[in-house]
Chain A
Amino acid sequence: AQSVTQPDIHITVSEGASLELRCNYSYGATPYLFWYVQSPGQGLQLLLKYFSGDTLVQGIKGFEAEFKRSQSSFNLRKPSVHWSDAAEYFCAVVRGGADGLTFGKGTHLIIQP
């Protein structure tokens, strides 16, 4: 069965500093991977997705992610964070067909002024 691990429950970053959120997956075939962001009490917004091709994927709000098959990872990065980036971030993998997504438990990002 597919699984997604986000090793960091909380991460604190100073405003203007760089950010990397980790995601590791377990999946037998080529994974279809997503990063979503959730503000408190809100739904999820798609940041970016990877299906195939270029392993460096660009998303919205200045985020990017790199797929590394050898490390089973799909880490999310941003060169300079803004206070508005404070939120919960979820990595997810497609379960197969129309079966929905398997999510990691999320990483809570805190931005220090």
Chain B
Amino acid sequence: DGGITQSPKYLFRKEGQNVTLSCEQNLNHDAMYWYRQDPGQGLRLIYYSQIVNDFQKGDIAEGYSVSREKKESFPLTVTSAQKNPTAFYLCASRLSGTSTDTQYFGPGTRLTVL
């Protein structure tokens, strides 16, 4: 089955620790995205990547980092510099950077800082 997988589903982190969220897609999509969701806030864009080895900051990139070494993978690292990391994180992808392409979402990772 084609789709987007995110792991783990739940993640717990102690304050001061970095943690990496996995996102993999087998849709052969060029563009990939990371969003953060907080209750009552909708989704906000963290980072996006149009091609391998290239990525751009979204609206709330501070305290996060990404890499895009492979087309199918776009991991997100939440660093200790992120002041309030507890949230639901959603990865998405679309075929290309064309505006009319549909964006598809993974099932999400819920991160809780203890």
Stretch at the interface among B14-22, B76-84, B106-114: B106-114
* Contact in complex: A32, B108 (CB < 8 Å): no
Q: Which residues of A contact B107 (CB under 8 A)?
A: 42-43
CB of B6, distance to nearest CB on chain A (Å): 8
Report yes or no: B108 in contact with A42, Cβ–Cβ below 8 A.
yes
A53 to chain B, nearest CB (A): 12
Docked Cα-Cα span, A94 to B98, in Å, equals 10
Please report the C-alpha to C-alpha distance between residue A2 and residue B48 in the assembled complex, in whole angstroms: 17
Q: Give the contact-size bracket for chain A.
A: 20 to 34
Q: Using CB atoms and an 8 Å cutoff, list the residues of chain A in contact with chain B.
A: 4, 9, 32, 34, 36, 41-46, 49, 51, 90, 92, 94-106
Whether B33 contacts A100 by the Cβ 8 Å rule is: yes
Write the chain B residue with the least CB distance to A90.
Answer: B42
Q: What CA separation (Å) do A46 and B44 show in the bound complex? A: 17
| Secondary structure dominating the interface of B | strand
Q: Which residues of B lie under 8 Å from residue A106 when comparing CB positions? A: 40, 42
Complex CA–CA separation, A105 to B40 (angstroms) = 6
Known: A100-B103, A103-B43. A43 touches B108 (CB 8 A): yes
Residues of A near B35 (CB, < 8 A) are: 100, 103
Q: Is B58 an interface residue (CB 8 A)?
A: yes
Q: Does the CB pair B31–A98 fall under 8 Å? A: yes
Query: Which residues from A are CB-within-8-Å of B110?
Result: 41
Q: Is the CB of B100 within 8 A of A43?
A: no
Q: Is B28 an interface residue (CB 8 A)?
A: no
Q: Please indicate the chain B residues that have their CB under 8 angstroms from the CB of A4 in the complex.
A: 42
- Is B25 positioned at the interface, with any CB of A under 8 Å from its CB? no
Chain A residues near B90 (CB-CB < 8 A): 43-44
B28 to chain A, nearest CB (A): 16
Question: Is A105's CB under 8 angstroms from B42's CB?
Answer: yes
CA distance A74 to B56 in the complex (A): 29
